[in-house]
């Protein structure tokens, strides 16, 4: 309730006046706050901030392919938070403690920051790592830069050099730790790989030596293209084939010769193919020819005949001997080839046995060679991996890289003059306003400040018709003279305020939360009319409005209710006033001129037909377009539609001319927005009431709104404040008006 009272006071119309009345207190509180800010700026120790930056979760240089682990770390918030915890860890702080110059810098800062007993407590930092960690951690700030993977490592110190030294020492220790951790893991892996390579190398050497020994023991030497046993078997096989072919050929010749022996060997192919046989046959033919020629000329005893006969016999003998030699040669050739075949077959059997044994030995060797090749391939792969790891270890920078080291800070980080003074001024202004309003609320008004508002209010009351209803609404006896609170809005606008219509809310809230939520919900016009009918404060405000407009005092009146903008409650005020006047017995006509946003038909539940739109189009008269409502003495003329063309027709003329034939009514209430262009639209109306919502900007809008209404031709202008928050009254003001007071109010 206290907070609500302060909020209502701050949003009231007289806040500026209240502050002005307490201007001395306001100035004292404001200047006191400024003085405290300046004193704090002088007294507070100056601190400098040095910041170094690193970036984490980057792919390591020298690594060609990113592993799945690295791909998962990139952009992982958990990994970034882990790095933040590592930086603030005790292990890393102890590494920083051992860095050159760090202990001296921290001791210097500690001795400067303490006035009493600095020696013992500060010297303890050099030997006690726990005290050192606690001291440094209190001045250390480690945080990520936004949504990036950059970590800022900051250190605050009254000495700029110490801030730079500690920030850079912690950054360097973190980078070295990351690099060392990565290098150690790779060194362990590399050592294991080299040990495995040495074992594989020994196993390969032993396997090769075992294979060679086995080859020598088994005689498994290799020839030009294959093992010697295989080559021997191949060679013997070829020789056996040739020998068998030669034997077959010799057997064929021998068989041919033997088959021709019965008939003579003269026609045997082997005999005929012999060159010697051919020569002997030619020689025999020649001798036979000579003998035949000599026989025809000489006698049988002639020496020439005898010589030729002897020579013929010798040739024939030689021919027969040669034939026998050919037959014997064929037999020898067959026997030789047959013996060779038999020998080669024996060698073949022997070599086959050796080859079979060698095949088993070769299979064993192949198995040994295959195992050796597998180990050789494994050796090559492990050697390649070991070389890569060794290279990575030598060029490793770690997953964290340096962005920038801390520079020597030139400007203090705290306190900063302009932000500090601005914060002090803002706080002083808030405290001064609160003090002035609080003092004005609790304390009595000074006499010299109260005289001026009373005189101003007296002037307003002279211009505004007074009635007992005003005294009734205030909760005092109307027979007694009373002085209301001064109206700054009335003085600023230059016109009277006829009524203050309170804000209506649904009663009986289920809970405090429901009440808060409903206070922010805008009520519909239907709900406003329903609540207004049973709200005594709202009805009293309508009665004030009725008396201020002098309704019922004489002839019929045409009253325009307008507003400087939407949401000011002019439609709800128009219909509520119409129902109020109709209940008092006045014949009322409510005219809806808001052709851009009509609502009468929906609110009143009537069918208005073509309405004002038909009148503007010239299709019917005003009296024909008027419809009756369920309420007695209340008729309406609805807009009949929405459109910019209808608005131009409406605002281009005068309301008095448009409603000239709407006779027989005591009051014509016209709900109309303000035209856009200055015309004589409101000329001739009896009263113009500007509905204005009670908020902080009410005073600023009042003067321009009233001037606009007068520009449109209105002469008698007044203000009706709508949706005003209920004022917290004192105990003496909370008495309700009696029935007799309402009766006297009419």
> Considering the chain, what is the average pLDDT of its residues?
76
Q: Give Cα 33 to chain centroid, integer Å.
A: 44
> Is 583 in contact with 532 (CB distance < 8 Å)?
no
> Is 501 in contact with 561 (CB distance < 8 Å)?
no
**Six token digits for residue 638:** 């609805």
Alpha carbon distance 669, 636 (integer Å): 9
**Six token digits for residue 597:** 């946003």
Q: Which residue has the higher pLDDT, 541 or 236?
A: 541
CA distances from 73 to 59, 400, 616 (A): 10, 12, 75
pLDDT number for residue 667:
92
**Six token digits for residue 143:** 């945080």
Half-sphere exposure of 453 (CA within 13 A, CB side): 17
pLDDT above 60 for 210? yes
Core vs surface per residue 347-356: b (16+ CB within 10 A) or e: bbeebeebbe
* 561 and 657 inside one domain: yes
Helices (H), 475-520: 488-493, 512-519
Instruction: Give the pLDDT confidence of 613-654 residue by residue, as tens digits.
Output: 888 877 788 888 889 998 888 999 998 876 767 777 777 778
> Is 591 in contact with 612 (CB distance < 8 Å)?
yes
Report cis status (omega within 30 of 0) of the bond before 524.
no
pLDDT above 90 for 345? no
Q: Which residues does residue 690 pair with via DSSP β-bridges, in sequence order?
A: 562, 719
Helix (H, G, I), strand (E, B) or coil at 254: helix
* 435 and 482 inside one domain: no
> Is 408 in contact with 160 (CB distance < 8 Å)?
yes
Closest to 374 measured CA to CA, from 194, 203, 189: 203
Per-residue pLDDT band for 154 (boundaries 50, 70, 90) equals: very high
* 440 and 459 inside one domain: no
DSSP state letter for 47: B
pLDDT number for residue 542:
92
720 assigned to some structural domain: yes
* 545 and 669 inside one domain: yes
> Is 132 in contact with 106 (CB distance < 8 Å)?
yes
DSSP state letter for 189: H
pLDDT above 90 for 588? yes
* 473 and 564 inside one domain: no
Say if residue 179 is exposed, middle or buried (CB neighbours under 10 Å; 0-12, 13-18, 19+): middle
pLDDT number for residue 584:
87
Closest to 499 measured CA to CA, from 706, 721, 686: 721
Instruction: Give the pLDDT confidence of 694-713 residue by residue, as tens digits.
Output: 764 666 677 888 888 888 88
Alpha carbon distance 51, 156 (integer Å): 9
Q: Which residue has the higher pLDDT, 746 or 307?
A: 307
Q: Number of helices (H) and strands (E) in the chain: give both, helices first.
A: 29, 12
Per-residue pLDDT band for 2 (boundaries 50, 70, 90) equals: very low
* Average pLDDT of span 708-724: 87
Q: Which residue has the higher pLDDT, 355 or 162?
A: 162
pLDDT number for residue 460:
37
| Element of type H or E holding 403 | strand 401-404
> Is 144 in contact with 390 (CB distance < 8 Å)?
no
* Average pLDDT of span 432-440: 85
**Six token digits for residue 694:** 């009670």
472 assigned to some structural domain: yes
Alpha carbon distance 136, 106 (integer Å): 8
* Average pLDDT of span 80-104: 87
Between CA 46 and CA 51, with CA 48 as vertex, the angle to 5 degrees is 165
pLDDT number for residue 485:
39
606 assigned to some structural domain: yes
- Pairing status of strand 140-144 against strand 150-157: antiparallel
Alpha carbon distance 470, 481 (integer Å): 11
User: How many residues does the structure list for the chain?
Assistant: 746
Quote the pTM value: 0.39
> Is 531 in contact with 523 (CB distance < 8 Å)?
yes
Helix (H, G, I), strand (E, B) or coil at 650: helix
pLDDT above 50 for 738? no
pLDDT number for residue 221:
61
Angle, in degrees to the nearest 10, between helices 417-442 and 2-11: 100
- 57 phi-psi bin (left φ>0, alpha ψ -120 to 50, beta other): left
**In the chain, how many domains are there?**
3
Q: Give Cα 402 to chain centroid, integer Å.
A: 26
Q: Give Cα 326 to chain centroid, integer Å.
A: 110
- Give the range among 288-292, 324-328, 379-383 with minimum mean pLDDT: 324-328
* 638 and 708 inside one domain: yes
Alpha carbon distance 543, 551 (integer Å): 10
CATH number at residue 679: 3.40.50.300
* 612 and 529 inside one domain: yes
Looking at mean pLDDT, say which of 86-100, 348-362, 450-464, 512-526 comes out highest. Answer: 86-100
Query: Domain residues for 39?
Result: 1-44+415-444
* 669 and 633 inside one domain: yes
426 assigned to some structural domain: yes
Alpha carbon distance 114, 466 (integer Å): 74
Closest to 211 measured CA to CA, from 360, 368, 361: 368
Return contacts of 704-710, CB within 8 angstroms, 24+ apart.
Answer: 704/564, 705/493, 705/563, 705/564, 705/674, 706/493, 706/494, 706/495, 708/564, 708/674, 709/562, 709/674, 709/682
In percent, the amount of the chain with pLDDT more than 70 equals 76
The alpha carbons of the chain give a radius of gyration, in whole angstroms, of 65
Alpha carbon distance 741, 90 (integer Å): 83
Q: Which residue has the higher pLDDT, 320 or 398?
A: 320
280 assigned to some structural domain: no
Instruction: Give the pLDDT confidence of 256-300 residue by residue, as tens digits.
Output: 776 655 555 555 565 666 677 777 778 878 888 888 888 877 777
pLDDT number for residue 473:
38
pLDDT number for residue 73:
53
* 464 and 501 inside one domain: no
* 593 and 694 inside one domain: yes
* 509 and 430 inside one domain: no
Alpha carbon distance 691, 694 (integer Å): 10
Per-residue pLDDT band for 449 (boundaries 50, 70, 90) equals: very low
399 assigned to some structural domain: no
**Six token digits for residue 85:** 């915890």
| Element of type H or E holding 498 | strand 497-502
Beta strands in 265-391 (DSSP E): none
* 473 and 587 inside one domain: no
Instruction: Give the pLDDT confidence of 18-74 residue by residue, as tens digits.
Output: 788 888 888 999 899 888 888 887 888 888 999 999 988 655 554 455 555 444 555
393 assigned to some structural domain: no
680 assigned to some structural domain: yes
């Amino acid at each position: 309730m206290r907070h609500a009272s302060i909020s209502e006071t701050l949003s009231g119309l007289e806040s500026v006046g209240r502050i002005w009345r307490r201007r001395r207190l306001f100035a004292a509180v404001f200047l006191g706050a400024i003085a405290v800010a300046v004193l704090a700026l002088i007294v507070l120790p100056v601190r400098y901030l040095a910041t170094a930056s690193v970036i984490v979760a980057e792919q390591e240089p020298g690594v060609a392919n990113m592993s799945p682990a690295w791909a998962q770390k990139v952009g992982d918030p958990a990994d970034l938070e882990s790095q933040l915890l590592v930086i603030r860890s005790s292990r890393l702080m102890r590494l920083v403690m051992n860095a050159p110059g760090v202990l001296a810098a921290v001791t210097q800062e500690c001795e400067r920051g303490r006035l009493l007993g600095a020696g013992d407590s500060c010297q303890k930092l050099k030997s006690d790592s726990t005290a050192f960690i606690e001291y440094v951690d209190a001045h250390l700030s480690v945080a990520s830069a936004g949504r990036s993977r950059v970590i800022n490592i900051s250190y605050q110190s009254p000495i700029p050099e110490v801030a730079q030294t500690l920030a850079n020492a912690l950054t360097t220790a973190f980078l070295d730790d990351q690099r060392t951790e990565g290098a150690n893991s790779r060194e362990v892996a590399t050592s294991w790989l080299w040990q495995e390579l040495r074992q594989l190398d020994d196993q390969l050497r032993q396997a090769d030596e075992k294979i060679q020994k086995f080859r020598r023991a088994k005689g498994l030497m290799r020839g030009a293209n294959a093992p010697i046993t295989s080559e021997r078997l191949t060679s013997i096989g070829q020789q056996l084939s040739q020998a068998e072919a030669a034997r077959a050929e010799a057997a064929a010749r021998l068989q041919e010769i033997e088959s021709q022996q019965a008939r003579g060997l003269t026609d045997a192919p082997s005999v005929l193919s012999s060159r010697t046989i051919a020569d002997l046959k030619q020689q025999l033919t020649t001798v036979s020819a000579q003998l035949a020629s000599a026989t025809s000329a000489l006698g049988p005893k002639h020496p020439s005949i005898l010589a030729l006969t002897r020579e013929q016999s010798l040739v024939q003998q030689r021919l027969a001997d040669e034939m026998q030699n050919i037959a014997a040669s064929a037999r020898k050739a067959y026997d030789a080839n047959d013996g060779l075949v038999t020998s080669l077959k024996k060698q073949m059997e022997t070599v086959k046995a050796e080859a079979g044994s060698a095949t088993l030995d070769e299979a064993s060797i192949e198995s040994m060679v295959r195992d050796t090749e597998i180990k050789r391939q494994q050796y090559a792969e492990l050697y390649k991996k070991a070389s890569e790891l060794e290279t990575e270890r030598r060029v490793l920078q770690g997953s964290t890289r340096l962005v920038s080291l801390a520079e020597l800070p030139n400007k203090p980080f705290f306190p900063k003059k302009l932000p500090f003074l601005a914060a002090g001024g803002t706080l002083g202004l808030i405290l001064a306003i609160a003090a002035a309003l609080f003092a004005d609320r609790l304390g009595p008004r000074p006499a010299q400040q109260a005289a001026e508002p009373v005189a101003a209010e007296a002037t307003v009351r002279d211009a505004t018709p007074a009635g007992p209803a005003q005294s009734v609404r205030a909760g005092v006896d109307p027979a007694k003279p009373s002085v209301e609170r001064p109206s700054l809005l009335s003085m600023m606008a230059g016109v009277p305020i006829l009524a203050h219509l309170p804000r209506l809310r649904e009663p009986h809230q289920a809970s405090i939360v429901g009440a808060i939520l409903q206070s922010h919900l805008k009520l519909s016009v239907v709900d406003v009319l329903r609540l207004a009918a049973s709200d005594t404060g709202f009805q009293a405000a309508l009665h004030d409005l009725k008396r201020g407009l002098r309704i019922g005092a004489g002839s019929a009146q045409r009253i325009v209710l307008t507003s400087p903008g939407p949401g000011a409650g002019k439609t709800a005020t128009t219909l509520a006033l119409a129902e109020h006047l109709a209940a008092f017995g006045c014949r009322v006509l409510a005219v809806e001129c808001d052709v851009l946003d009509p609502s009468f038909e929906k609110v009143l539940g009537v069918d208005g037909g073509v309405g004002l739109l038909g009148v503007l189009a010239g299709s019917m008269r005003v009296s024909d377009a008027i419809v009756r409502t369920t309420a007695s003495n209340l008729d309406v003329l609805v807009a009949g539609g929405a459109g910019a063309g209808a608005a131009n027709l409406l605002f281009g003329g005068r309301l008095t001319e448009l409603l000239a034939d709407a006779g027989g009514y005591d009051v014509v209430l016209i709900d109309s927005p303000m035209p856009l262009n200055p015309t004589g639209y409101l000329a001739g109306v009896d009263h113009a009431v500007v509905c204005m919502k009670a908020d902080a900007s009410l005073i600023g809008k009042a003067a321009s709104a009233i001037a606009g209404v007068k520009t449109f031709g209105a002469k008698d202008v007044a203000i009706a404040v709508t949706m005003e928050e209920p004022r917290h009254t004192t105990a003496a003001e909370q008495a309700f008006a009696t029935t007799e007071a309402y009766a006297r109010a009419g």
